[in-house]
Amino acid sequence: MHRPPSSAPSRRATSGRLRRTLLTAAVAVAAVAGATLPAAAHGGTAGRNAPLRSLAAHDGIYVGSALAAGTLASDSTYSSIAATQFDAVTPENEMKWSSVEPTQGAFDWAPADQIVSFAQDHHMLVRGHNLVWNSQLPTWLTSGSYSSAQLAALLKKHITDEVSHFKGKIYAWDVVNEPFNGDGSYVQDLWYNALGPGYIADALRWAHQADPKAVLYLNDYNIEGQNAKSDAMYALVKQLRAEGVPIGGVGLESHFIAGELPTDIKANMQRFTKLGVNVAVTELDDRVELPATAAELTQQAADYGSVVTDCVQVRGCVGVTAWEFDDGHSWVPGVFAGQGAANLYDASYQAKPAYYAVRSALAAGRRTSSH
């Protein structure tokens, strides 16, 4: 019997560790970039130009981005900004089941390994994404006709294979991705239909067995404010905690529309952290109607700043991850017709108002008054 952690790492516990890791990392990056950490840390002249990651480290949180292996390999501007500004990375697609096991039993870890080694080279944390979802599954799995028992065995094997492959290298795993509908009911996907709601606790336990040190998350969108969906996530996390299931965190994806953020994100974060789990903003972007106007980009900057401030001010919010950092590599235009410009940098890698708002929010730390 594995005894799950009696309590999830609080930010007090995590942040000491994060802070040490990140300060070391910041020194390494500062050496490369020619910046001086002490000036940044003391808010001197260099502080105003300090990269996001050194400001975040000072607040005891990380600031991350989703990254793609192909772009890291082919675009040196992209990889240099990624390494300089961010101290955490989430592989955008490379760890999904269809990527790692496109043919049953034939694994392709190379793109995900490439991101992990980039992260190690640049002293970045890695968020593993994701182990259980209803999307981006391999065809051999979705087109096979498996019994419930076979699906349970396949899921256990997948989780064990993948978590074991990366054991010791992953700070946190999104174990189950997007399990709820907007009304708070479970998505009736192949996992739920075959295994019932217990697949979530099973997945967490299997992941914990394979890497007991990774912090295990449930991750979903539209759970950033308090609503039927986040209420369902809250009830589930409470139940899992009561049952001793090794849940360590809740990921708030945060795919926002500029000017339409929920007003109670901070309160919602706090109710989760009171259950003894961490929260993280895992996939932040903030889309506008194209072409973007100056007013939209100003609104977007305010949105980004306020989300970062919320995380900084909530003990137990461990970090904020952008879903790609530039408009040129965002998933948004391909999925939301007519919308885009959702990221911190434009498609020419020029920092946008949102970037400066994030930097100010990180530099202000907990001093910013609540909104």
Q: State yes or no: is 101 an active-site residue.
A: no
Of the two residues 71 and 209, which places its CB atom closer to ligand XIL in the complex? Answer: 71
Q: How far apart are CA 97 and CA 198, in angstroms?
A: 20
Per annotation, catalytic residue among 178, 253, 296, 324: 178
Of the two residues 93 and 226, which places its CB atom closer to ligand XIL in the complex? Answer: 93
Closest distance to ligand XIL from the beta carbon of 364 (Å): 29
- In the complex, the residues that contact ligand XIL under the rule CB under 6 A are 92-93, 177, 253, 283, 331
CB 248 within 8 A of CB 215: yes
Closest distance to ligand XIL from the beta carbon of 64 (Å): 14
Query: Regarding beta strands 339-340 and 278-289, do their DSSP bridges make them parallel or antiparallel, or are they unpaired?
Result: antiparallel
Closest distance to ligand XIL from the beta carbon of 136 (Å): 6
Q: How far apart are CA 262 and CA 310, in angstroms?
A: 12
Of the two residues 224 and 283, which places its CB atom closer to ligand XIL in the complex? Answer: 283
Of the two residues 130 and 313, which places its CB atom closer to ligand XIL in the complex? Answer: 130
Per annotation, catalytic residue among 94, 224, 253, 283: 283
**Residue of minimal Cβ distance to ligand XIL:** 331
For 107-110, which contacts have Cβ atoms below 8 Å and span 24 or more sequence positions?
A: 107/161, 107/165, 109/165
Q: State yes or no: is 283 an active-site residue.
A: yes
CB 54 within 8 A of CB 37: yes
Of 316, 311, 295, which is closest to residue 368 (Cα–Cα)? 311
Closest distance to ligand XIL from the beta carbon of 324 (Å): 7
Of the two residues 201 and 332, which places its CB atom closer to ligand XIL in the complex? Answer: 332
Of the two residues 54 and 222, which places its CB atom closer to ligand XIL in the complex? Answer: 222
- Which positions are catalytic? 178, 283
